Amino acid sequence: MDTHAVFSLSLSNLPFPKFRVIRHHNKHASSSYSSSSYIHHSRSKHSVVNLNRVSSFTTPKALLSLKEICEGHVPNHVLRRMEDVGYVMPTDVQTQALPSLFSGRDCIIHAQTGSGKTLTYLLLIFSIINTTKSSVQALVLVPTRELGIQVTKVARMLASKPSGVEEDQKSCTIMALLDGGTLKRHKSWLKAEPPTIVIATVASLSQMLERQFFMLQSVRVLVVDEVDFIFNSSKQTSSLRKLLNSYSSCNNRQTVFASASIPQHRRFVHDCVQQKWTKSDVVHIHVSPVEPMPSRLCHRFIICDTKRKLETLLSLIQSDAPESGIIFVGEQSEKSKKAGNSPSTSLVSDFLKASYQGSLDIFLLEDDMNFNSRAASLLEVRKGGGYLLVATDIAARGVDLPEMSHIYNFDLPRTATDYLHRAGRTCRKPFSDMKCSVTTIIVPEERFVLQKYENELMFNCEELIP
Ligand SMILES: Nc1ncnc2c1ncn2[C@@H]1O[C@H](COP(=O)(O)OP(=O)(O)OP(=O)(O)O)[C@@H](O)[C@H]1O
């Protein structure tokens, strides 16, 4: 490992320990980002599929506005709403994916965190649905309730008629069918008047389908957001396969998969075709393939003993003075739960509440909290104002908090993919040049694991030393 530069970080006006930065240049960054597989099967002689791939290595300047790209496909009132809320120029993924989506092709949208994939697939949905028909026409599958609430909010915002637009026929209705919701109420709604768009978690949707309260025959577009996560989740993968094959056929719908991470993407494209999850001319839209994470994100790490991790975290926060930050903490093991130990999230949160003296509020978000408490924490952080959110990986996928400036990995993520998504909770303003950072606290033995992530994800991590 080469140490090329040692210099001081400008923290001169802060009373906390200054950290020096040691810059390590990662000579071994490889371009194959692969860490997991979607389907375990031996490759047959016939397994070669036509890989339809669109990728960009540079960032082309958008020549057309979002409205110009969407005109003739998306209803005018949606386009007006889109511009009213500030979506004027397209992001790279929108420039590249929307033409293929509007042409009716199945797509795998593979683009950085915070690059605007949600708006991309929602614009497709608004281009397809027909509100005069009383049936569920679009379905978006998400891995968590939190992401479902967020996507529903954006969809409802786009669907709402801007002032001055006449309320013509029927407007688009959007149902959130999410874990922790009241299925009884949804059942009555589905019976009385089917919504146009359903945004669902896999478990809640499957329950509805199994009880035949709901059919997928009328669905014209199916989106699976965070597709690699759902396929890798032991609880969700078999239900997802059923949804893709048994409850509807890829020939009768347009299928869209989205994620910032599609490990082993060639194999995934192959599986999509072989398993008939998509049609055979599915297109893989891979934006910035050699830069899987936003370039304005600064990566840092600090080595310390396990016993000093809490103090190190506190020193980092005090010296960084973040606008807002997320502190990612590992999930508690079953063994630790059985032994009656407190989860690390509570330990970190209690420690910060007792020791941190800045102006940021401290909130907690973890899997073991009930849905109401989880919603309350997210509601608080969305109110704006500075905060520190102590969270497990439940906050790592899809959650959009645009003001987020700092990410701290109190515990090392389990995989490179987890690192990418945690880091991606910052740098979420597409056209901003705000500098953001992700800092990982490691014990000496973990250095080689972080180095492995650097190689896989092709980034350089700077070492901070007190
Ligand atoms: N064309 C646009 N102009 C301005 N802002 C945009 C545009 N498109 C999306 N955004 C904003 O960018 C942010 C990130 O978008 P989004 O949540 O869709 O990211 P994503 O690609 O789904 O990320 P992740 O992979 O982390 O889920 C959001 O705050 C969204 O409002």
Indicate if ligand 1 lies below 6 Å from the C-beta of 294: no
Residue of 59, 112, 117, 401 with the most ligand 1 atoms within 8 Å of its CB, for mutation: 117
Measured at the alpha carbon of residue 96, what is the angle toward residues 95 and 97, in degrees to the nearest 5? 105
**Tens-digit pLDDT string for the chain (466 aa):** 333 332 233 333 334 456 777 766 655 444 444 434 344 333 333 323 334 555 444 445 568 999 999 999 999 999 999 999 999 999 999 999 999 999 999 999 999 999 999 999 999 999 999 999 989 999 999 999 999 999 999 999 999 976 666 655 568 999 999 988 777 888 888 888 899 999 999 999 999 999 888 889 999 999 999 999 999 998 899 999 999 998 989 999 999 999 999 999 999 999 999 999 999 999 999 999 999 999 999 999 999 999 999 999 999 999 999 999 999 999 988 888 889 988 999 999 999 999 999 999 999 999 889 989 999 999 999 988 899 999 999 999 989 999 999 999 999 999 999 999 999 999 999 999 888 999 999 999 999 999 999 999 999 999 998 8
For the whole model, what pTM was predicted? 0.89
Atom of ligand 1 nearest to the CA of 147: 27
Strand order in the sheet with 20-25: 2-8, 20-25, 461-465, 297-303, 436-442, 406-409, 325-328, 387-391, 361-365
Tell the residue nearest (CA) to atom 27 of ligand 1. 398
Q: Is the beta carbon of 422 within 6 A of some atom in ligand 1?
A: no
Q: Does 143 contact ligand 1 (Cβ within 6 A)?
A: no
Please tell me the distance between residue 324's alpha carbon and the centre of ligand 1 in angstroms.
18
Whether the CB-CB separation of 36 and 233 falls below 8 Å is answered with no
CB 441 within 8 A of CB 409: yes
DSSP string covering 375-394: HHHHHHHHT-S-EEEEE-GG
Q: Is 398 in the pocket of ligand 1 (CB under 6 A)?
A: yes
From 428, 429, 432, 433, the mutation candidate for ligand 1 (largest count of ligand atoms within 8 A of CB) is: 428
Backbone φ and ψ for 430, nearest 5 degrees, come out as: -50, -40
- Centre of ligand 1 to C-alpha 403, Å, is 13
Q: What is the ipTM of this complex?
A: 0.99
Q: Is 260 in the pocket of ligand 1 (CB under 6 A)?
A: yes
Q: How far is the CA of 85 from the centre of ligand 1 (A)?
A: 13
Contact (Cβ atoms closer than 8 angstroms) between residue 292 and residue 261: yes
Nearest CA among 83, 84, 124, 85 for reference residue 104: 124
Indicate whether residue 114 lines ligand 1 (CB < 6 A): yes
